[in-house]
Amino acid sequence: MSLTVEELAMAYHQAWVDLDPDTIVALHSDDSVFHMHGGAEPATGRSAVRGLIAAFLRLVPDLKFEPKRLYVGADHIALEYDMSGTYAGSHFVCDGADVIAVAGGLVTRKDTYLDYVNLIDQVGAMPEIIAAV
């Protein structure tokens, strides 16, 4: 049984709240794409998506998301949020938005847009692992 888009949105958000890369990637299709625009090259396939997520969580182990607005359609999820955490001893908060394509109860593509100008102003230079992934 596949999840409805609404169920997927809730399960996906909870997996990110739990900071659980395995649960997050289990909600992606085998050929899913995760693109952190301006922060990393697109990751394609579950293994690469998991690697990108795990790398980001290693950089910001106290990552948190405060949802602002959620939009759900038949084949997509759009979420606006404040992302916060600590990187290199500096606490940050920045705006973020995810545009998520959905098919068969799974994430097929996730495009993440963060306010990198604000993020860099708060923590300094872009984390190398994110810029290099």
CATH number of the domain encompassing residue 27: 3.10.450.50
Q: What's the mean pLDDT in 96-117?
A: 96
> What residues make up the domain containing 77?
5-132
- Residues with Cβ within 8 Å of 97's Cβ and at least 6 positions away in sequence, in order, are 78, 79, 80, 81, 112, 113
Q: What is the pLDDT of residues 62-104, one digit of tens each?
A: 999 999 999 999 999 999 999 999 998 999 999 999 999 999 9
Contact between residue 35 and residue 111 where contact means Cβ atoms under 8 Å apart: yes
Q: What is the pLDDT of residue 4?
A: 94
Contact between residue 98 and residue 8 where contact means Cβ atoms under 8 Å apart: no
Q: What is the pLDDT of residues 6-51, one digit of tens each?
A: 999 999 999 999 999 999 999 999 999 999 998 888 999 999 999 9
Enter the tokens of residue 97. 């938005």
Give the count of domains, the chain: 1
Q: What is the pLDDT of residue 132?
A: 43
